[in-house]
Structure 1
Amino acid sequence: MALEPEESVKMDGDYETNTAISYEDSYLSDSEIFEDGIEASDADLQSENAKEKKSNMAGIVYDLIFYAMLIFICVYIVPNFVLQRTIVDGSSMADTLLNGEQLYVEKLSYRFDALDRFDIIVFYPYGRDNEEYYVKRIIGLPGETVQIIDSKIYINGEILEENYGKEPIEDPGRAAQPITLADDEYFVMGDNRNVSKDSRTEEVGNVKKENIGGRAILRILPLKRFGTID
């Protein structure tokens, strides 16, 4: 009977010891989990920061590309292929256009064969390699036959009804004989016809499409004459 308490005490000791070990293990386990949690949180934060920096860098790169393209379009594409400012030199288009007036010329119509009779165009009479350009009005279209008889303009044998000329034509020039235009040629004249060097002269002749720079659409200076051009 005396042995029972000893066994009981031993069992209790074992129980207490085991309980303490179990509690310690549990405590260590919780600490490890807590520390792992901190490390995981730091890793997530670093990952988010890295993503944010990458996103900001990508945004900066996109902005630089966008502004570079915008500058390229404004500096190169628009002046060469869309819209260009031109200054009238001389009085050959008076009274429609006067010397020194500044115009905007659109450069799309002739590329799509959308030029019409009486449009005012800018062209290079001596080819694009020469910087000199003229501003004149289209009278004859590709494929038509132009002739001037007694100050009257004939297109395909019929009188052209128009009132753009400042004065009656005194010199028909080469148009005294019928001139048949090729599929890529235009016949042009200045509105001030007795002082204009245009398709009536051998020097200028028929204007080829490849030498047209654009169509005048807007007068911007002087401001008192600002407006579209007829």
Structure 2
Amino acid sequence: MLAFVIRSFLFATSVVEGASMYPTLENGERVIFNKAVYLVSEPDRGDIVIIQRPTKNYVKRVIGLPNDTIEIRDHVLYINGEPDEQLYLGEEEIQATADYGPVDVPPENYFVMGDNRSISKDSRNGLGFIEESEIIGRSEIVIYPFHEFGWTR
């Protein structure tokens, strides 16, 4: 019974499919995600979230919050007109980020991108804006493969 409660309401696992979150997360890694965190708070910029869609779940990084303006120009991400450092990305991923926007994130929606900008299906090209209700948790820990064990930030 305790395992059912934990899996249903607190934590669950998800498998990363594809390379859209590389180098942060790699294809085949299994992560534990926190299902309860957004019951008491809202997704924050930089969170790696699990997005539930009817046919598939996606793992992406929150870039834009409700009412933000997002623009990518000359490989620089601008949020509300200010450049964002994207410390979680290497120079190669930053240089692979193509021009986009500007777009305004609607209320109660989020703008997400994969860390592997050149191949990611995300808010720029297929997923669109993500409704708050579609975000089912925040990725916390890589648990498999064992040599990759650690926090997902």
Would the TM-score normalized by the shorter structure come out above 0.5? yes
The structure 1 residue matched to 2:46, chosen from 118, 121, 132, is: 118
Over residues 39-84 of structure 1, what are the superposed CA-to-partner deviations in whole Å (9 max), with x where a residue is unaligned?
xxxxxxxxxxxxxxxxxxxxxxxxxxxxxxxx1x422x32232100
Equivalent residue of 2:66, what SS? coil
The structure 1 residue matched to 2:118, chosen from 184, 194, 211, is: 194
The structure having more radius of gyration, on CA atoms, is 1
Q: Are 1:122 and 1:216, in contact at CA under 8 Å, matched by a contact in 2?
A: yes
Following the alignment from structure 1 to structure 2, what is the Cα–Cα distance between the partners of residues 110 and 89?
23
Q: Are 2:66 and 2:107, in contact at CA under 8 Å, matched by a contact in 1?
A: yes
Following the alignment from structure 2 to structure 1, what is the Cα–Cα distance between the partners of residues 130 and 59?
12
**TM-aligned CA deviation for residue 100 of structure 1:** 0.6
- 1:213 equivalent to 2:141? Answer no
- 1:185 equivalent to 2:109? Answer yes
Following the alignment from structure 1 to structure 2, what is the Cα–Cα distance between the partners of residues 131 and 112?
27
Equivalent residue of 1:110, what SS? helix
Q: Are 1:199 and 1:206, in contact at CA under 8 Å, matched by a contact in 2?
A: yes
Following the alignment from structure 2 to structure 1, what is the Cα–Cα distance between the partners of residues 103 and 140?
28
Query: Paired residue for 1:171?
Result: 98
Following the alignment from structure 2 to structure 1, what is the Cα–Cα distance between the partners of residues 10 and 55?
19
Task: State the Cα RMSD in Å.
Answer: 1.5
Over residues 74-98 of structure 1, what are the superposed CA-to-partner deviations in whole Å (9 max), with x where a residue is unaligned?
22x3223210011110011111111
Query: Paired residue for 1:91?
Result: 19
Following the alignment from structure 2 to structure 1, what is the Cα–Cα distance between the partners of residues 101 and 70?
8
Q: Which runs of 4+ in 1 moved over 6 A?
A: none
Q: What residue identity is the alignment partner of 2:96?
A: I
Query: Paired residue for 1:74?
Result: 3
Could you say which structure has the higher helix fraction?
1
* Structure number with higher relative contact order (C-alpha < 8 Å, ≥ 6 residues apart): 2
The structure 2 residue matched to 1:225, chosen from 142, 148, 153, is: 148
Following the alignment from structure 1 to structure 2, what is the Cα–Cα distance between the partners of residues 189 and 82?
25
Q: What residue identity is the alignment partner of 1:150?
A: D
Over residues 177-211 of structure 1, what are the superposed CA-to-partner deviations in whole Å (9 max), with x where a residue is unaligned?
2211123111111111101111111x211111111
Q: What residue identity is the alignment partner of 1:209?
A: E
- Superposition TM-score, scaled by structure 1 size: 0.61
